[in-house]
Structure 1
Amino acid sequence: MSNTFPPVDGTWRNHYLLMRHGHSQANQEGRIISSPALGLTGFGLSPRGCTQLDTLLADWRWARPQRILHSDFLRTAETAERVAAHFDLTLTLEPRLRERHFGEFEGQSDDRYAEVWARDAKDPTHRQGGVEAVSEVAARMRAVIDELERHYHDETILLVSHGDPLQILLTALEGRELSLHREREPLAPASITSL
């Protein structure tokens, strides 16, 4: 799965690969795991996620990354570690790539995402139920790319993150209203989108 988007203000200095982590134990259990208290040390990759990554790496179709930055959640760290081992690269921990915090929905069924997304569609700045606002997620995710653009040139950089933050980032980079982030096709686990 690969899409290409232009930067907001001209040509990218670097080539970016945005990767959603592989299928996780939270996906397997159908639970929302978005807090550092649970996500940093628990709910890593599921056996299915490990298989997905083995398949992806055996048939790698993108440019070889020179840098890998990843969310500090266990599922993204384990995903990034597998890619880094394949390419013999070191990793950079980047907490701004972490999962969107879903507040009072933490630990509940992932069916509850739909309630948050319905509110997002009306107001991307809402924080009802302690949920991190779409606008805040977009700002922190975009800040990572902006910083990389200032410091590097002509590199292929892999960013390993989570479904909702990546959907939000891609919506922002497309110049679309953030309230429309769920109108994009959902990113599959272990998928890569090329910028």
Structure 2
Amino acid sequence: MTRLLVWRHGNTDYNAGGRVQGQTDAPLNARGRDQAAAAAALLASFHPDVLVSSDLSRAHDTASALASLTGLSITPDPRLRERHFGEWQGALLTDIESRHPTEYARWRAGNPSPGCGIESLDDLAKRVVEALQDAADLAPGGTVVVTTHGGAARQGCGALLGWPNEATRTLGSLRNCHWTELTDRSRRVGGTGWQLTAHNVGVPSQN
């Protein structure tokens, strides 16, 4: 059985300030670094075999907290970056809502291609699911930790499970430094492939 832990990065000032990050390289703030250290201590108990991360610093630095405890090297993968938010990157959500009300409403409603240069959900899912599967293939039967971003994690996990966008949307957003656990039982007799084992798991005191 292969276990895949898809871990969202720690808090940033963009998170705290209500700004859209997308692929902007916003660093962890002090709270995010504390979250990463606490979550890493819990994740280390799973004895991971492989550690793969988005190459954006907030994800890579989150992964570094686990690397320092386990001695694992971090394999960077740009396919694990967050959804590209086009014209909205770096902007406040409140400003976006007032300046682009039609596109904002489409995005909130789950439209896969809301406009304003935002990466489509299908394109996001395609690149992230490929990265997740490639990461899992690095340790068949082992435990793989992948550090990524909230939107990327949800869309990639949904695609790995074979869910349509409507079903993927029912997954709650990952909190900072929380993770989704997937297991692949296809190598067992009668296995059925990837299954959702747990979602939004993390240190209980963290929000």
Asked if these proteins are the same fold (TM beyond 0.5), I'd say: yes
The match for 2:91 is: 108
Between Structure 1 and Structure 2, which shows a larger proportion of helix residues? 1
Q: CA deviation at 1:115?
A: 3.8
- Offset of 1:55 from its aligned partner? 2.1
| Cα offset, 1:26, TM superposition | 1.6
In the alignment, what sits opposite 2:190?
none
Q: Pick the structure with greater CA Rg.
A: 2
Q: In the alignment, which of 22, 33, 39 is matched to residue 21 of structure 2?
A: 33
Structure 1 residue aligned with 2:192: none
Q: Could you tell me how far apart the structure 2 residues matched to 1:75 and 1:149 are? A: 22
**TM-superposed deviation, 1:151:** 4.9
Instruction: Give the Cα separation in 2 of the matches to 1:167 and 1:58.
Output: 23
Residue 148 of structure 1 and its aligned partner are, at CA, apart by 3.7
Q: CA deviation at 1:34?
A: 1.9
| Residue 61 (structure 2) pairs with residue 70 (structure 1) | no
Q: Which of 1 and 2 has higher RCO (CA within 8 Å, sep 6+)?
A: 1
Q: 1:162 aligns with which of 128, 146, 149?
A: 149
Consecutive unaligned residues in structure 2, runs of 5 or more: 98-103, 183-207
For 1:23, the equivalent position in structure 2 comes to 11
1:182 aligns with 2:172: no
Q: Which amino acid aligns with 2:108?
A: A
Which residue of the partner structure matches residue 6 of structure 1?
none
Distance 1:107 1:180 in 2: 29
Change (3 A) 1:69 1:150: closer
| Structure 2 CA distance for partners of 1:116 and 1:167, relative to 1, 3 Å | farther
Amino acid at match of 1:55: A
CA distance in 1 between partners of 2:31 and 2:91 (Å): 22
Q: Which amino acid aligns with 1:23?
A: N
1:117 to 107, 114, 121: 107
Q: What is the number of residues matched between the two proteins? A: 175
Deviation (angstroms), 1:179: 4.0
Task: Provide TM-score, normalisation by structure 1.
Answer: 0.79
Cα 1:58/1:149, change in 2 over 3 Å:
closer
Moved more, 90-99 or 145-154: 145-154
In 1, the alpha carbon distance for the partners of 2:106 and 2:80 equals: 20
1:191 equivalent among 174, 178, 182: 178
CA distance in 2, matches of 1:145, 1:51: 26
Q: Following the alignment from structure 2 to structure 1, what is the Cα–Cα distance between the partners of residues 136 and 70?
A: 22
Residue 106 of structure 1: CA displacement?
1.1
Contact 2:22 2:89 in 1 (8 A): yes
* Residue of structure 2 in register with 1:5 after alignment: none
Q: Is the 8 A contact 1:28 1:46 kept in 2?
A: no
CA RMSD in angstroms comes to 2.2
**Residues in 2 aligned to 1:54 and 1:185: alpha-carbon distance in whole angstroms:** 23
Q: How does 1:42-81 map to 2 (within 5 A)?
A: 43-60=26-43, 63-81=46-64
Deviation at 1:142, TM superposition (A): 1.0
Q: 2:122 aligns to what SS in structure 1?
A: helix
- Rounded to whole Å, the distance in 1 between the matches of 2:106 and 2:86 is 10
**3-state SS of 1:68 partner:** strand
Alpha-carbon offset, residue 127 of structure 1: 5.6
Q: Which amino acid aligns with 1:138?
A: A
